[in-house]
Amino acid sequence: MFTAAIHLPGAIDPDRIDALADTLAALVAGVAAGVVGDAVITTAHPDDPEVATMAESTGAALVARGGSPWVEAARVARRPWMLCLEAGDVPAAGWIRILDRFGATGSIHSVGRLRRPHAPLFERIAGRREALTGTRQVRAGDLAPVQTVRAGLPLRARLPVRSLRASLLRG
């Protein structure tokens, strides 16, 4: 089972709130299937009433981002694996089966990576390089072991990256 860590970057505006709502709504199917167990929203503005209301109404924990949003989310995650998302990321068809399979067979010493075709070019190039060399970072779209992320970023050792056959779309 996974904790969904959703990062809400930048200033709070109606478009970002809508993007967060899209991501949370898309995760409902994963909750019903028993793949997503809880959610954590990280933001630099935890006192924003709209974000606080959304977190409370969905049962998500709300965490103030001080450093890395993934490390902050890992500190309160209640599951052994974390699905890292940015507000607006919406898993494409088949994601539940892919996550379920990865959770059952993935090594605690590896990172699973979902495709994010909407990510900036530099991030996509870095992701491809990391698929060959391993990674010391956690990015949006990664399935990462919570214990490893709690230890802090950059990771102490390079973890192998396993590309998964699922994508995240932009909501």
CA distance 151 to 127: 21
pLDDT of residue 105: 85
Domain ranges of the chain: 2-170
Phi (first) and psi of residue 102, to 5 degrees: -65, -40
Asked whether residue 116 carries a pLDDT value surpassing 90, the answer given is yes
Instruction: Give the pLDDT band of residue 41 (cuts 50, 70, 90).
Output: very high
Residue ranges of E strands in the chain = 2-8, 36-43, 61-64, 81-86, 89-91, 111-115, 142-145, 161-170
Asked whether residue 171 carries a pLDDT value surpassing 80, the answer given is no
Listed in sequence order, the residues at least 6 apart from 132 whose beta carbon sits closer than 8 Å to its beta carbon are: none
User: Which pLDDT tens digit goes with each residue over 75-108?
Assistant: 999 999 999 999 999 999 999 999 999 988 877 8
Among residues 19, 14, 15, the alpha carbon closest in space to that of 6 is found at: 19
CA distance 107 to 104: 9
CATH of region 2-170: 3.90.550.10
Lowest mean pLDDT among 72-81, 82-91, 138-147, 150-159: 150-159
Neighbours of 84 (CB within 10 A): 27
Identity of residue 89: D
